[in-house]
Structure 1
Amino acid sequence: MKKPALFLALALLVAVLIALIGRNPPDLDMLRGHLTGLEARMAENPLTVAAIFFAAYVAVTALSLPLAVWMTLAAGALFGFWWGLLLVSFASTTGATLAFLASRYLLSDWVHEKLGNRLQTIDEGMERDGAFYLFTLRLIPAIPFFAINLLMGLTPIRALTFYLVSQAGMLAGTAVYVNAGTQLAQLESLSGILSLPLILSFVLLGIFPWIAKFVLRLIKRRRAYAGWTRPARYDRNLVVIGAGAAGLVSAYIAAAVKAKVTLIESHKMGGDCLNYGCVPSKALIKSAKLAHQMRHADHYGLTATTPEFSFRKVFERIHAVVKAIEPHDSVDRYEGLGVEVLQGHAKLIDPWTVEITGADGAAQRLTTRSVILATGAAPFVPPLPGLDEVGHLTSDTLWDDMVGRDAAPKRLVVLGGGPIGCELAQSFARLGSEVTQIEMLPRILIREDEEVSDLVKASMEADGVTVLTGHKAVALGKTGDKKWIEVEANGQTRKIEFDDILVAVGRAARLKGYGLEELGIETGRVIETNEYLETKYPNILAAGDVAGPFQFTHTASHQAWFASVNALFGKFKRFKADYRVIPWATFTDPEVARVGLNEQEAKEKGIPFEVTRYGIDDLDRAIADGSAVGFVKVLTPPGKDTILGVTIAGEHAGDLMAEFVFAMKHGHGLGKILSTIHIYPTLAEANKYAAGEWRKAHVNVRTLSLLERFHSWRRG
């Protein structure tokens, strides 16, 4: 708080100076009177007068005093046009930069602390286009320059950039006033300098960079579409390829604003999440957790028992759950919303034409103003020798393969230590499989902090999973009827026998067969897009797993809003995809949820932080539920309650995370969470207690000492 206090003191000083100037406001007669005396001194010692004038001008602009116009006129009268322009140009820019630096030093940290993440978009824009915005503002003298100096100090624009752009941007306005000063004897009022036509000219000059930017964008668009013939009319406003989370939301938004939209799906409505990912896996996790609780019923004062169940019925239930949710994503529902739904494979023929080939081989073509590619991702299967020979399961094929079995795989190898591999390894172990999990990296859940990986690993091992980290799969094969996988660790190899192997080493975007190569749309691991989710062709956008950078259902839906709005209204207004606050969860037991930075990322990026931690083993509701395992860990800047990131490990971690996501999104700190009433007894109190731990660690010791003396005095 010392810096804002210093700023207020400085502002008070400036206010007093302005008040003193206001008592006897300058005018042209006063200026001419002062110049009469200065002209004599100028004749005797021009360099001294120039140096004093330069220093005075710097001070006036640095303090934002309303004297700059009068001093600029004086410069023209005393030194002539060229020397006056040189002096004022450098003095005004130097003073402006000093005001800019003072604002940055005294106010920037305080303002960012108060507004938090709400400034992130502005900061990102200024880092990218700050020079452009500053130059535009400097060209319009109607905008107070002192306000520009102070506000720019709150942004991340570099000081050197600020100085150079200000030097160039203020030159035209400075020249007008210096030139007027050379004709001071004939000047009757300031209105004669800055007439309405001249002001309008400056405004047009300020708008020119925006016009130039727009023209460059048009030229870029024309180059992108060179060689293609645009249709005279369009069959659709929007065609969406893929009916997963991103595609469904995009089509829904388009229909809601009464656009004519077609949604094309080659396989199942609902995409991976409904049919192969989120929904079936969570149904499996629930059954596995109940089996686990039955084995450990004595933990709740009941009789522990070995669960008896039909593995076939477990998977029949999983399919029943999928069937129950299917109507939410069905053809009927979306057609009822006004979306045309076509079953078939879609391929781009040109930037405005999509060809749809049905199961019977019949093809039709639709022209459309815009296209959204939401083709999703599929499990990545590494080219391991022998993998095709032994056969394998993935998170896509698992659900149909298991539904007809009477028992869980006796020996299951799970290849991969990411979220999918961990969730499925633990679930199958709880349902009776002997599970071996193989991970090439030093630990599972490598994106999480080490203590999180260790906590989940310990829980999985307690469930019977053999977790082999630092083991690289080399080859697979059969010896008679026995299947095996060969792994290498520390220079040694060994073979592990199994009955089934589940490959869960990641997912790859679906990029082939959609005409991207023919159109020259750039792809790497995903389709390359700009911040508006546009591809090489601005009318072709991508969203969801195929666009990256995240592979979560909730981020696919989030991207879909930006993609659909930009596709339909981008000619008038575009929105940059906002990735500031992205949460995710791994649904192992205990669950792991995260938003923002964790410790290892903060260290990698060199971001200073402090850690506040609350152990869930101390939480009343967790103790009562028998789930007193895990922690809430919050990262904040040193000495501040601004939330940089949160990791929660424990029961319902994904649900508990919502409060922190909201706080980060809207710039609220831990103090706001601490002051919020949480129902007792609930797991959500863990968030409040974590905020309380931060508060206890930042109590002012001197204040407490004074309070102790005060209470002692009150007792007599």
Structure 2
Amino acid sequence: MTRRRLILAALIALAIAAWFLSGAHDALTLQALQAEQARFRAWLAAEPLVVAGGFFLIYVLMAAVSLPGATLLTVLGGALFGLGWGLLIISFASALGATLAALIARTLAREPLERRFAPQLARINAGIAREGAFYLFTLRLIPLFPFFVINLVMGLTRMRLWTFYWVSQLGMLPGTAVFVNAGRELGSLESLSGILSPGLIGSFALIGLFPWLARGGVALAKRRRLATRFSRPARFDHDIVVIGGGSAGLVASYIAAAVRARVALVERDRLGGDCLNTGCVPSKALIRAARLASEVRGAGRFGVQAGEPEIDFPAVMGHVQRAVQEIEPHDSRERYEGLGVAVMAGEAVLEDPWRVRVTDGAGASRVVTTRHVIIASGARPRVPPLPGLEAIEVLTSDNLWRLEALPERLLVLGGGPIGCELGQAFARLGSRVALVEMGGQLLPREDPEVAAEVGRRLGEEGMALHLGTRALGVVAGKDGGHALEVERFDAEGKPLRETLPFSHLLVAVGRQANVSGMGLEALGVETRGDGTLAVDESLQSVLPNVWACGDVTGPYQLTHASAHQAWHATVNALFGEFKRFRVSYRALPAVTFTAPEVARVGLNEREARERGVAFEVTRYALAELDRAIAEGETEGFIKVLTVPGRDRLLGATIVGEGAGEMLAEFTLAMTHGIGLNKLLGTIHPYPTRSEAVKATAGVWKNAHKPERLLGWLERYFRWRRSGHGERDVRSAAGGRRAEQEAR
């Protein structure tokens, strides 16, 4: 098989070389055509089969080996053969050549292209799995990528070649007709005044309008496909119905109401969702109380003797609930109804893509009609199916806030951001905390040195870390309580089992999207392997009027990511007929609120290596920052990834006190294309932690200083110090004075 691939690759390389060395590409111009027009038409009249057949074969060869110039060849075909014969010849030649290109890609380049373009192929395969031939048809009709790219990429999918051929034949036909017609007009051009002919102007106008018309046609076709399956209402109660009143749903409702769309928001529980009620707000309030306890313990190093703090846990939880209550009005029903949102309490079920049945707590239901539906139903903590787990009350980030007494011995299952944040908080408040993580490091998405820095601090604060340890199940403890049986491997690879006793078990192994109970399965709205709703880059599901945003679709379960997605889902739903916006996560920041904090935007080293992205690393230790030294918080560092030899940011990671606040400047820089040179040229107040950003840019600049120029400057200053420079300057000045006196 390898030998066949080499032979095929050699033949293609020879064909491409012959094409360019022969100068054939230079002949494919309007000027060359017009110069040989009379001779060619005479040849065509004498031997039409030879000329048409030769053109057909050349076109097939160009398309099969992805040579440049297919569009120009299409235009020339219209000029040479006219609209009818030109369209017939080029339509079949382009479809056959595209199919051969797909076959070549499938035979020759499957493995290397899969490695190089894995993210792009994942999106294409998702489209193939959902809509198959119709997906390819839309790519042909609205070329999101050049046709040769579609040929190569589709060749790597599992689509049948016959399906690929006939769909390409149909999908490329309208565009081919437009370009062939433009070529026919150009072929009849005899003078410059012919440029202003209505036919030629119309042909080029049609080329410009075709993508817009094709997009509208595809959208109309999708709507009609829906209409054949469901009964579309004659009129609608709302422009958008949002299901879910968490971060994503609230932002979506706000944006829709702001542009005067009629929007309804359906929530079955409490507005504000996880972030307000069980996530961001209560956890940060708890972390603040725990940090204060830690600061009291460590006050002696600043000369302040305070001793061991006394923890009143019910009062701590009271502080947490007050924080929730004070922020609650921002997400209240009254506020959103004042903005023009129709807020409905109850369960929402889609009867079809346009009808949503809302059932309240008393069992009363009503059906509302809507042009678009946005699913923002969020996620819930994932509880693994461990043996014995059903016999105990498991703590999660949802029910943790009902605790009335401080856990004596807390076992945290999961070493991600939630497990590390809450585990450290309870340890600082006085619980004996152990953490079990199946992976080899904490915070598995971060670089190993980042995780090690956090792990070191957690260990110093008394947490027992069990990394590379797998939970087997809950068993009876020695003192009549409960314990978690775990397994790990020693240095020689032998399995070792032990039991870890606990009074409370906190499960923090991830979150599961809320996708059931809304009628989505019956409508064919699919989920991904991780359980999230499957949507495209504009957040549209397989149903063209059903969208999703937030934790229910991922991939980042962060409040600000949900808000970012909500803007895109709402704007695309309301105005997608005119323009679609793809969601970009390139400059999406994330913060883990441990001590030290971990903040990151863009790529880290692990991700860059996995994606094959070349990068350069610049590091700055916070131990060199004056403000950090003054406050006694010197642990941590800033690590920036840039394009090699350039100051363009690929990502930034900060570990240390105030990392989340310092990250904002790097996020702004990545969002708006600001390089490290401009950050270095920005005045930062002294002494602040923000100076660390400028200092990092200074480290990068120092590593890229112009050595050759500095060498010349060194020679220049040495010459000046020698005294020759001064004498030369004085002599020149004296000469000018003498010249002035002579005048």
TM norm structure 2: 0.75
Amino acid aligned to 2:429:
L
Match of 2:663 in 1: 657
Alignment-mate amino acid for residue 688 of structure 2: T
- Aligned residue for 1:73? 34
Q: Aligned AA for 1:504?
A: A
Tell me the CA shift for residue 674 of structure 1: 0.9
1:72 touches 1:174 (CA, 8 Å); kept in 2? Answer: no
The answer to whether the aligner puts 1:696 opposite 2:657 as a matched pair is no
1:220 match: 222
Q: Report 1:138-217 matches (<5 A).
A: 189-192=191-194, 195-204=197-206, 207-208=209-210, 210-217=212-219
Can you list the C-alpha shifts for 1:223-276, whole angstroms capped at 9, x where unaligned? Answer: 234321111222222211111001111111122122222211111110000010
1:97-136, aligned counterparts within 5 Å?
none
For 1:352, the aligned partner's letter is W
How many Å separate the matches in 1 of 2:219 and 2:364? 39
Alpha-carbon distance in 2 for matches of 1:464, 1:356: 50
Equivalent pair of 2:142/2:215 in contact (CA under 8 Å) = no
Pair 677,60 (structure 1): closer, same or farther in 2 beyond 3 Å: farther
Matched, 1:308 2:307: no
Instruction: Give 1:348 deviation, angstroms.
Output: 1.2
Which residue matches 2:645? 639
Residue 59 of structure 1 and its aligned partner are, at CA, apart by 6.1
Aligned to 1:258: 260
Query: Which residue of 2 is the match for residue 486 of structure 1?
Result: 485
Question: Structure 1 residues 260, 160: CA separation in 2 closer, same or farther (over 3 Å shift)?
Answer: closer
Amino acid at match of 1:597: L
Structure 1 alignment gaps of length 5 or more? 1-50, 62-67, 100-122, 138-151, 181-186
Alignment match, 2:473 = 475
Q: Does 1:603 align with 2:609?
A: yes
Contact persistence 2:178–2:203 (CA under 8 A): no
**How far apart, CA to CA, are the structure 1 residues paired with 2:695 and 2:228?**
61
Offset at 1:199? 2.7
**Residues 133-188 of structure 1: per-residue CA shift (max 9 Å, x gap):** 99999xxxxxxxxxxxxxx99x9979999xxx9999976655655566xxxxxx5x
- Indicate the residue corresponding to 1:283 in structure 2: 285
Q: Does 1:621 align with 2:627?
A: yes
Equivalent residue number for residue 328 of structure 1:
330
User: Structure 1 residues 131, 452: CA separation in 2 closer, same or farther (over 3 Å shift)?
Assistant: farther
Unaligned runs of 5+ in 2: 1-17, 45-50, 73-118, 125-134, 154-171, 490-494, 723-743
* Equivalence for 2:417: 419
What are the superposed Cα offsets for residues 85-122 of structure 1, whole Å, 9 maximum, x if unpaired? 989x999x98979x9xxxxxxxxxxxxxxxxxxxxxxx
Match of 2:362 among 360, 364, 367: 360
1:545 counterpart SS class: helix
Greater shift in the superposed pair: 192-201 or 629-638: 192-201
Amino acid across the alignment from 1:342: M
Q: Which amino acid aligns with 1:495?
A: T
CA contact 1:176–1:193 (8 Å) conserved in 2: no
CA distance in 2, matches of 1:500, 1:245: 30
Structure 2 matches for 1:398-413, cutoff 5 A? 398-400=400-402, 402=403, 404-405=404-405, 408-413=406-411
Query: Displacement of 1:74 after TM fit?
Result: 1.1
CA distance in 2, matches of 1:699, 1:96: 44
Q: CA deviation at 1:458?
A: 0.3
Cα distance, 1:481–1:611 mapped onto 2, change above 3 Å: same
Q: In 2, are the aligned partners of 1:436 and 1:466 still within 8 Å (CA)?
A: yes
| 3-state SS, counterpart of residue 613 of structure 1 | strand
Matches within 5 A, 1:231-242: 231-242=233-244
Secondary structure of the 1:477 match is strand
Conserved in 2, the CA contact under 8 Å of 1:135 and 1:169? no
Q: 1:420 to 1:412 in 2, by over 3 A?
A: same
Q: Is the aligned partner of 1:447 residue 2:449?
A: no
Does 2:460 match 1:462?
A: yes
Q: CA deviation at 1:195?
A: 2.5
* CA deviation string 1:654-688 (max 9, x = no partner): 11111111111111111111111111111011111
Are 2:432 and 1:428 equivalent residues in the alignment?
Answer: no
* SS of residue matched to 1:226: helix
Q: State the 1:637 CA deviation.
A: 1.6
What do the CA deviations read for 1:287-317 (whole angstroms, capped 9, x no partner)?
Answer: 1111111111122222251011311100111
Give 1:76's aligned amino acid: Q
> 1:359–1:198: structure 2 CA closer, same or farther, 3 Å change rule?
same
Q: How many residues align?
A: 606
Change (3 A) 1:362 1:454: same
Matched-pair contact (CA < 8 Å) for 1:136–1:169: no
Q: Which moved more, 1:364-373 or 1:683-692?
A: 364-373
CA distance in 2, matches of 1:263, 1:95: 51
- Indicate the SS of the match to 2:35: helix
Residue 589 of structure 1 aligns with which residue? 595
Structure 1 distance, partners of 2:653, 2:284, is 21
Letter in 1 for 2:255: I
Structure 2 counterpart of 1:216, which letter?
V
Q: Alpha carbons of 1:708 and 1:132: their partners in 2 closer, same or farther (altered >3 Å)?
A: farther
1:293 aligns to 2:292 (yes or no): no
Of stretches 323-332 and 474-483 in structure 1, the one that deviates more from structure 2 is: 474-483
SS in 2 for 1:644: strand
- For the residues of structure 2 that align with 1:302 and 1:193, how far apart are their CA atoms? 87
The one-letter code of the counterpart of 2:353 is: P
| Partner in structure 1 of residue 517 of structure 2 | 513
User: 2:609, 2:39 → 1: CA distance?
Assistant: 58
Greater length-normalized contact order (CA 8 Å, ≥ 6 residues apart): 1
CA contact (8 A) 1:81 1:179 kept: no
- Separation (CA, whole Å) in 2 of partners of 1:470 and 1:515: 40
Match among 570, 574, 586 for residue 568 of structure 1: 574
* C-alpha distance in 2 between matches for 1:135 and 1:54: 34
Contact 1:414–1:437, Cα closer than 8 Å, also in 2: yes
| Residue equivalent to 1:338 | 340
SS state of the match for residue 476, structure 2? strand
Letter in 2 for 1:497: P
Equivalent residue letter for 1:515? G
**Equivalents in 2 of 1:135, 1:242: separation in Å?**
36
Matched residue SS, 1:239: strand
Give, in angstroms, the shift of residue 420 of structure 1.
0.1
Contact 1:616 1:629 (8 Å CA) reproduced: yes
**How high is the sequence identity, in percent, across the aligned residues?**
48
CA distance in 2, matches of 1:310, 1:699: 56
2:276 corresponds to:
274
Residue aligned with 2:396, SS:
coil
For residues 642 and 707 of structure 2, the distance between their equivalents in structure 1, rounded to whole angstroms, comes to 21
Q: Partner residue of 1:531?
A: 537
CA drift at 1:619: 0.3
Pair 60,362 (structure 1): closer, same or farther in 2 beyond 3 Å: same
Query: What TM-score does the superposition give when structure 1 sets the normalisation length?
Result: 0.78
| Letter of the 1:514 counterpart | M
Task: Work out the CA distance in 2 between the residues paired with 1:205 and 1:287.
Answer: 64
**Does 531-540 or 572-581 show the bigger shift?**
572-581
> Which residue identity is paired with 1:241?
I
Q: Which amino acid aligns with 1:636?
A: T
